Amino acid sequence: MSKFYLLLSVILALQASQACEGANQNEGQVATGRQQTQNYFTYAYGYTPNLWNALYYRPRLPALVYASPYEGRIINRTPVSSPQFRTNLQEDDKDGREDEDGKNEANTDDKEDRFALGGLITENFISTRPVEFNSGLSTFNPWGQKIKNIVNLSPVSVNPNVNYQVATFDSCISRNGDAGICASRAVCSLFGGRSSGVCNLGLTCCVNAINTCDGAITLNNTYWQSPATPITAPSTCSLTVTLDSKRREQIKPICQIRLDFVSFTTSQPTGGTCTDTFEVSGSSNIAPVICGDNSGQHMYLDVQSSALSSTDLKLKFNFAVGTQTFPYIPRSWNIKIAMLPCGVSYLAPKDCLQYFTSAQGRVSSFNWHDASSTLTRQLNNQNYRICFRTELLKAHPTKATQMCLSVCSVTNGGDAFSITTVPPSGASSTASATSSAATLSAVGTTFKDSVKGTRAVCLYDFLLIAGGRDSNNVEADRYCGNALNPAVIGQGGLLMTEPPPGGLPSSVQVCSSLMPFRLIYRTDGTEEEITAVPSSNIIGAAADTANTGFCLDFEEK
């Protein structure tokens, strides 16, 4: 009897050993698939999703998909399944090892629900499309072909004002103040970026820059910098900003681009016309051609939502030959390109090229600079809106009701307000009269000259401040001349034999209570004299002399 029990124990031990061996073999296959998947996520996206801790017999819960683009108040319950995963995993395992007795399929089928990925992976997250980033690197996704049909879910709507740093590469600020995107160090390296600072969830602030011509970018907060080698002329240098919500790095649809000119130096204009030019194409609002000194300036560019169609926004420099004279001014730039999602609270109002979001600050025309010069710095063919957000004042629990503008102080000989040279009246043509008239402010569109008839004043070049008034409630809308002052014409003509088309030589504070607070700046295409042609309804204007544009300090009250 003891021999029988001994034999039975040996048989049971052998069966248990075979069962364990089969289980170990099966678990080895599972571990291989698990490790390959984790390696992919770690390399491509910088983190490992916790996909493998679900209980084997745990009921599968429906995924929660928010129906509202801003708040998850209404939940659309869509069941999630992954019928293709086990088959694809099995095929991948067979590439490395082939089971002679054909048990791979059976062992894999037993784990039907263990590897459900839920709502983590979508077509937008894993696909067979090459990954295209700023560095020009094109890396084929090795798992995309195998598991692209894991799930078939509708895109999940997200609140554009909330950061989802793992999935959407949200904005961050690095240690030295540069803007970047939140990503893992591995992904930042894949982008060709520089890690600086930290984000939530163990991510790093990745700063991206490109310093080549004729390149393309798809990442938010990318810096386009001038090439390290000197720029020859004539030549061009361009950059394409590709907007497409189907890209992994642009999950949130984009509706606006903000350009921040961290630094910007090209040659000065000739008679107000740019010879070196910077121009933008592909936006729905028109950005003027600019040149010269524009460090600290910015532009908002409206584009069609990238969820509706992809858009290529092109930024282009054109460098003309023979425009650089001694002392040599090198052409250089550093432009931060921010992609603003649709629906966020910080979008600029439509058709506003510039947008200011503080209660006080400084606004100036392109190429204005605090420097003494006898050349024209005011750029021709400018026509754009400058908008200001109505701020909540700290001293009062209400929003501002007016905005006041004053010419900014200068310390290096610059002219803070110089738009259109005011001519002397027709009967006064002496040098002293001409010099005196050029210092005066001006308002309105035309002036009736007793000798030359109707003459343009603030008709072709002007700054529009709707409802602008001084402290004495003297009101004007169009401002030009060499001072900001709504004074009526004829007040500064001490050297004139008749009233001039100008006001006073001193600038005053001008306030407007019309909301929303906006300015319109417009110049024509020439600084030369315009000859009157009555038959064509062309009003004559005097030639401009060394206009500089404007620099104003604003304050909401």
Residue 150's nearest CA partner among 113, 189, 190, 116 is: 116
Q: Tell me: the pLDDT tens digits for 470-522? A: 999 999 999 999 999 999 887 765 555 567 788 999 999 999 999 999 999 99
Determine the 3-state secondary structure of 108 from DSSP.
helix
Please give the average per-residue pLDDT across 224-249, as a whole number. Answer: 91
Give the tens place of pLDDT for each residue, 278-302. Answer: 999 999 999 999 999 999 999 999 9
Structure confidence by residue, pLDDT tens digits, 70-127 = 333 333 333 333 333 333 334 444 444 444 444 444 443 443 333 333 333 333 333 3
Would you state the torsion angle of the CA atoms of residues 283, 247, 182, 212, taken in this order, to the nearest 10 degrees? -60
pLDDT at 303: 96
Helices and strands in the chain, H and E counts? 7, 29
Q: pTM of the prediction?
A: 0.72
Cα distances from 469 to residues 365, 460, 472, in angstroms, run: 21, 22, 8
Handedness of CA 483, 488, 491, 496 (dihedral sign): positive
Residue 361: strand, helix, or coil: strand
DSSP E strand boundaries for 26-178 = 63-66, 75-78, 131-132, 138-139, 171-173
Residue matched to tokens 């080698």: 229
Cα atoms in the Cβ-side hemisphere of radius 13 Å centred on 419: 36
What's at 207, amino acid-wise? V
Lowest mean pLDDT among 19-23, 60-64, 201-205: 60-64
Q: Measured between alpha carbons, how far apart are the two ends of the chain, in Å?
A: 105
pLDDT tens profile 290-336 = 999 999 999 999 999 999 999 999 999 999 876 445 456 679 999 99
Q: What is the mean pLDDT of residues 437-462?
A: 89
Which runs of E-coded beta strand occur in 199-331? 204-210, 215-217, 222-225, 235-243, 254-265, 277-281, 298-302, 311-319
Instruction: Calculate mean pLDDT across residues 385-405.
Output: 89
d(CA 331, CA 321): 12
Instruction: Measure the CA–CA gap between 279 and 286, rounded to whole angstroms.
Output: 10
C-alpha separations of 52 from 45, 111, 121, 262, 342 in Å: 18, 12, 14, 47, 36
Adjacency order of strands within the sheet including 277-281: 215-217, 235-243, 311-319, 277-281
What percentage of the chain has pLDDT greater than the value 70?
66
Strands 215-217, 354-356: pairing is unpaired
Q: From CA 366, how far away is CA 376, in angstroms rounded? A: 12
Residue 10's pLDDT is: 57
Confidence grade of residue 3 (pLDDT, cut at 50, 70, 90): low
Distance CA 290, CA 294 (A): 8
Gap between the Cα atoms of 319 and 276, Å rounded: 5
Q: In this structure, are residues 71 and 104 in contact, taking their beta carbons and an 8 Å threshold?
A: no
Would you state the pLDDT for residue 310?
A: 93
**Is the CA virtual torsion 133, 138, 141, 142 positive or negative?**
negative
Report pLDDT for 435: 82
The residues that bridge with 195 in the sheet, in sequence order, are 206
Q: Are 142 and 166 in contact (CB under 8 A)?
A: no
Averaged confidence pLDDT in the chain: 77
Q: What's the rounded Cα separation, in Å, for the pair 247 and 142?
A: 17
What tokens were used for 400? 């501002």
Contact 205/196 with Cβ under 8 angstroms?
yes
